[in-house]
Structure 1
């Protein structure tokens, strides 16, 4: 056998650390659901491990060195003899190096698990207290929903090759939802009173209980607040441009009309809701499309009934400001942006550093 063939065989047998990392993340997520009822402390520790592994897997897809906290060394990495990045370090690198960070809301939701995990490990907490169990059930359901948004949405192109059965994994949270039955029952009088006041209660998309109080935020923009698990989704109720049936856009990458199966992406949604259409007369005077600081969306913010709406994450704001350095429009706070920059530039400090 030639040396070239030996090298080919060696390369073929080389383990796939990305696949192993994802498999371990799924194992920990499965363990978290299995341990929830009998050993909730172990459940939240396992869940936090799953969260960190999914974040590290996204870093690994970019480059193996991003997973290493300090002084990357390939031999040490391949042997597993290294200190990996923490949750905070992973989020920072996803933002500054990869350019695809979890949104602030997702990061905060996942960070709740990290903080509760630390509390469980270092301090005493009465896990037999029903209130604590409810808290863990809600926190893990919220974190699971946030993870789905990452691996099944924002980072879908990275994780789709692993054939993750998100529906099956979601089914493993049945015990969490069942445990919230006690909370739902305790809210019976309050929910009945809300119905009596004319409030519309729908089934929550996360816990499944008919406790999501729906409301119109602004014209086509709606929201719901679940009184059981506190899930607060937003969506747009729009008319299909092909069959005129109403369809729902949840801020995902695509939305589908259930009547004619027409698929709408973010740019299609923007075209439907934008009430400041481009004309040859006002093109250069337009402040939209602008960028979104919440979801890091590029030119996803459009004019919406005297407000501004991001069609990527459905963030509604009252103003658009220009970056003091690059001039890009944004729905975030641009104070000091000439020096610190915005989502798409490093400002004067980056220029001076170079």
Structure 2
């Protein structure tokens, strides 16, 4: 963890591709060691990929096939009752993917993306050590760890300051441009910095949107894949925009103008639809008119017809049986 901070601290020197490479490798190593340390505290068999095949001999001789990061997170949540938020779990998963890509293909993400992700993971690990590992240390180990954590918090503050200052500058630019309604959270770096509609024709060959934090470029079809409806595998009527009728309506999008809400958003006409929800029956987009079942026109008509023949409970559709 200390090595990660050294490699990514913008106050010390410019972050180079080599710094990013070793930051990813060392951070992933830290994650694996610390998560397994907590599993060991629960029971030593939990660090085996298959606990049913756990033996003390394999553990003592370090010949075991050990648990993956993803498996470790699941076991910590379900068995050790360790609170790991979905966002934290996603950051750990992204880090594993970055490490794997680095090993096989070299550096595939821009340095700012890695720095932002590393800040999230470091923040989680420091809290994890504080709350889950420190209480299990001896007094001598605790004093030594406290000193190390103090240094890490200072380095983490530098990394987070870089990310925060860059994000604030970008938001200031977007606000001056009046682009808050078409700026969304980037699927790659997860910063609120992806400004949509940089070119006039979303079906053209030119780049349609560029993230101002990580510089990744997107077209509408690529964005649609990042924001599917629940249980959706490929574009369908679930993605039909009520305004432009294109199949480019994404779900669960966060927009800068209202960053706390997850909304439906059309990547063609660049419009957010905060009141649009999936139909309760078929999941087609429907405008939520109020309390009760939210049904599209097709399902409402089918429901009324079926209720007359007693095949369904008519009260499910807000109408009375005849």
Q: TM-score band, normalised by the shorter chain? A: 0.3 to 0.5
TM score, norm. by length of structure 1: 0.40
TM score, norm. by length of structure 2: 0.44
Greater RCO, CA 8 A, separation 6+: 2
